[in-house]
Amino acid sequence: MMIEFIAGKYNYWMASVLMMIGFYAIISKHNLIKKIIGINIFQTSVFLFYISIAKISGGTAPIIWEEATKYDNPLPHVLILTAIVVSVSTTAVALALVIKIYKSFGSIEEDEIRSMSVEETANRAAK
Amino acid sequence: MFYNHHFAVLIIVIPMFLALLTPIISLLKMEFAWYMAMLSATASFLISMSILYHILSTGDVILYHLGGWLPPIGIEYRIDCLNGFVLVVITFIALISTIYAKQSVAIEIKAEKTPAFYTVFMLFLLGLYGMIVTNDVFNLYVFLEITSLTGYALVAMGSDKRSLMASFNYLILGTIGATFILIGVGYLYMITGTLNMIDMSRLLVKYYDSNVMFTAFAFIITGLMLKVALYPLHFWLPSAYTYAPSAVSAVMAATSTKVAAYVMIRLFFTVFHIKIISQYIPVAEIVMIIASISVLMGSILAISQTDIKRMLAYSSIGQIGYIVLGATVLHSAALTGGILHILNHALMKCGLFFVAGSIFYKLGTTRINDLRNLSRIMPLQAGAFTLLALSMIGIPLTGGFVTKWYLIEGSILSGDWYLVPVILLSSLLTVIYFGRVINLMYFSDNSSHNNIKPIKAPLGMVVPTIIITFLSILFGIFATVPVEIASKAAIEIMGGSHW
B368-424 pLDDT, tens per residue?
Answer: 888 888 888 888 889 999 999 999 998 888 888 999 999 999 999 888 888 899 999
Q: How far, CA to CA in Å, does B367 sit from each of A123, B162, B244, B306?
A: 13, 16, 15, 6
Mutation site, B124, B142, B147, B162, interface A, largest A CB count within 10 A? B162
Smallest CA–CA separation between B424 and chain A, in Å? 34
Q: Of B105, B125, B103, B93, which Cα lies nearest the Cα of B19? A: B125
Quote the CA–CA distance of A113 and A69 in Å, as a whole number.
59
Cβ of B175 within 8 Å of Cβ of A104? The answer is no
Nearest beta carbon to residue A83 from set B149, B176, B182: B182
- Check CB contact of B165 with chain A, cutoff 8 Å: yes
Quote the CA–CA distance of B153 and A36 in Å, as a whole number.
16
The model's confidence at residue B449, banded by pLDDT at 50, 70 and 90, is low
Burial of B59 (0-12, 13-18, 19+ CB in 10 A): exposed
Chain B residue with the nearest C-alpha to that of A73:
B193
Q: Between B72 and B78, where is the model more confident? A: B78
Q: Angle at the Cα of B362 (from B358 to B366), degrees rounded to 5?
A: 65
- Check CB contact of A51 with chain B, cutoff 8 Å: no
Q: What's the rounded mean pLDDT across residues B293-297?
A: 93
CA-only gyration radius of chain A, Å: 22
Quote the CA–CA distance of B339 and B204 in Å, as a whole number.
26
Query: Contact at 8 Å (CB) between B399 and B391?
Result: yes
DSSP structure string for B119-145: HHHHHHHHHHHHHHHB-BHHHHHHHHH
Q: pLDDT under 50 in chain A at which residues?
A: none
Burial of B30 (0-12, 13-18, 19+ CB in 10 A): middle
- Break chain A down into helix, strand, coil percent, rounded to 5: 75, 5, 20
Smallest CA–CA separation between A117 and chain B, in Å? 6
Q: How far, CA to CA in Å, does B168 sit from each of A92, A121, B161, B253, B277?
A: 12, 18, 12, 18, 34
Q: How far, CA to CA in Å, does B19 sit from each of A86, B14, B295, B330?
A: 18, 8, 37, 40
Mutation site, A117, A118, A123, interface B, largest B CB count within 10 A? A117
Residue B449 CB coordination number (10 Å): 12
Residues of B whose CB is below 8 A from A100: 156, 164
Q: Of B485, B165, B166, which Cα lies nearest the Cα of B339? A: B485
DSSP structure string for B263-280: HHHHIIIIIS-HHIIIII
Chain A residue with the nearest C-alpha to that of B170:
A94
Q: Between B455 and B325, where is the model more confident? A: B325
- Check CB contact of B172 with chain A, cutoff 8 Å: yes
What are the extents of the domains in chain B?
A: 7-494
Q: Estimate the crossing angle of helix B399-413 against helix B308-328, to 10 degrees.
A: 40
**pLDDT (tens digit per residue) in B240-291:** 999 999 999 999 999 999 999 999 999 988 888 777 777 788 888 889 999 9
Report which DSSP code applies to B160.
S
Nearest beta carbon to residue B190 from set A35, A53, A113: A53
**pLDDT (tens digit per residue) in B110-169:** 888 899 999 999 999 999 999 999 999 999 999 999 999 999 999 999 888 889 999 999
Residues of B whose CB is below 8 A from A117: 162, 165
Chain A and chain B share a number of CB contacts under 8 A equal to: 76
Cβ of B175 within 8 Å of Cβ of A39? The answer is yes
Chain B residue with the nearest C-alpha to that of A100:
B164
Quote the CA–CA distance of B422 and B407 in Å, as a whole number.
11
Q: How far, CA to CA in Å, does B429 sit from each of A7, B115, B297, B435?
A: 55, 41, 10, 9
What are the extents of the domains in chain A?
A: 2-126
Tell me the three state secondary structure of residue B378.
Answer: coil
In chain B, % of residues over pLDDT 90: 57
Q: What's the rounded mean pLDDT across residues B82-90?
A: 93
Cβ of B145 within 8 Å of Cβ of A125? The answer is no
* Element containing residue B492 per DSSP (H, E): helix B480-494
Quote the CA–CA distance of B207 and B282 in Å, as a whole number.
16
Chain B residue with the nearest C-alpha to that of A103:
B161
Smallest CA–CA separation between B366 and chain A, in Å? 11
Average pLDDT over chain B, rounded to an integer: 89
pTM score, two decimals?
A: 0.93
Nearest beta carbon to residue B164 from set A90, A97, A125: A97
- Check CB contact of B176 with chain A, cutoff 8 Å: yes
Task: Note if the bond before B72 is cis, omega within 30 degrees.
Answer: yes
Domain A2-126 has CATH 2.60.40.1190: no
Smallest CA–CA separation between B161 and chain A, in Å? 7
Nearest beta carbon to residue B153 from set A75, A93, A114: A93
Query: Contact at 8 Å (CB) between B52 and B85?
Result: yes
* Element containing residue B37 per DSSP (H, E): helix B32-58
In this predicted structure, what is the pLDDT of residue B373?
80
Cβ of A113 within 8 Å of Cβ of B165? The answer is yes
Nearest beta carbon to residue A32 from set B152, B156, B168: B168
